[in-house]
A and B are shown apart, each in its own frame.
Chain A
Amino acid sequence: MSRHHRRKKRFKLRSFYIWHRYMGVAAAAFMVLVAVTGVLMNHPDRLGIDDKFVDAGWVLDWYGIHTPDDLLSFRAGDHYVSRMGKHLYLDTREFEGRYRDLVGAVRVHELLAIAVDDSILLLTPDGELVERLHTRDGVPAGLLRIGTDPAGDLVLEGGLDLWTPDADFLRWQPWHGDRDSLRWSKPQPLPPALYQALVTHYRGEALPLMRLLADLHSGRFFGRYGPWLIDLSALLLVLLSLSGTWIWLRRRR
């Protein structure tokens, strides 16, 4: 082999090696991302991330997760009962389950009563559920209003009639008296600090961390062309392995 030929061959190898390096650098950032998110998603239980949510504001904004505009709040004693989306809160404490129709909330002697979805949630002042009363327990269907009479007893308006329970909330009977004496629960604006706390809580439970990891892993997080970027980096990785092998073989010779 002539000197000129050897030099040409070395130059070719070096230019291939440079391309190999560029491809490596280009793919590295995405491959680190894919590897790290992949490992995290493989062990969610051990890492304790399977029930975690993302609360970073910019990430939630990026996903278009905003506060619903159908916030409804009532004051019951020293507490506020609010529904935001399908979440129901006593102050900042969320109740288990999903709720649609919050009618109102009142304090009844030592308990709190919340009328929601054709049922009454009876709570201790600490917010512990005593019982959820349904229509099968005598709660009138089609709840329209919840309030208290001058004695502080619970009164419900269901259909055209007014109803009141006995002291144990076991039996319901029609309420008779001066309707003007009743104090109905009415919507009230939340104090700004409580509103902000609810917004933070609501948005903080909208995006599971596992979903974010899956979107980063697949590239969907980066938008429409994100998956193509990940595909491209995967292709680069394939080329890297081929070019790396080729360079190694050439050098051995």
Chain B
Amino acid sequence: MRPVRLFIILFGLLPLAAAARGTYQTPQDFLAEAFDGQVPEARVLWLTGTRREQVKRILGHPYPALRVRYWLRGARSAWILDETGKDRPITFGVLVENGRLARIRVLVFRESRGAEIRHPFFTEQFEGLKLDPRLALDRSIDGISGATLSVRAMKKIAALALYLDTQVRGEHVPTSP
């Protein structure tokens, strides 16, 4: 193939990478949807002591902040959490209801690849998941080829939100070593 043609084709593909980035739902819209338009006041949960260690175990690294914000009403809690896919943080919105994951959404995607994880065919796999004693999701998730790191980030955030939900409800999470 002539270099000029190859360059034109590659240049034409650039917008596809850029198109993956973006805000797919604002946090405010996610919360409004999660609480049927009546968003409760935000609260904070401090990640200190044992909780910090458990969070580190789930993510594989410490959470980059000492506290996280959440919204709680009845059996529902909603979380806006960031996790890096490859190079840049992905912002997720997670709704937990009765200790099970009710909804997970990609709110802001900043990576150049892997945005396929935002599609319902993928996120629907997470619905109904619980946390097992190893602090992992209790069912396996089918991956997406070419989006391995984004998939991994979403799985970690799903497990983290389920764990944090137990913490705001004062539940003891039996964990295996």
Contacts and interface: CB of A to CB of B under 8 A. Distances in A.
A83 to B, nearest CB: 19
Given A136-B27, A170-B41, A130 B66 contact: yes
Interface residues of B, number: 13
Given A136-B27, A136-B28, A170 B66 contact: no
A131 B41 contact: no
Contacts of A137: 42, 69
Contacts of A136: 26-28
A96 B65 CA distance: 12
A92 B64 CA distance: 19
Interface in A94-139: 96, 124, 128-132, 136-137
Interface in B1-36: 26-28
A137 to B, nearest CB: 7
B67 A130 contact: yes
Interface in B67-99: 67-69
B27 A131 contact: no
Interface in A145-184: 168, 170-171
Nearest to B80: A136
B80 to A, nearest CB: 8
A154 B27 CA distance: 25
Contacts of B67: 130-131
7 contacts: A96-B64, A128-B66, A129-B66, A131-B68, A168-B44, A170-B44, A171-B41
Interface of B: 26-28, 41-44, 64-69
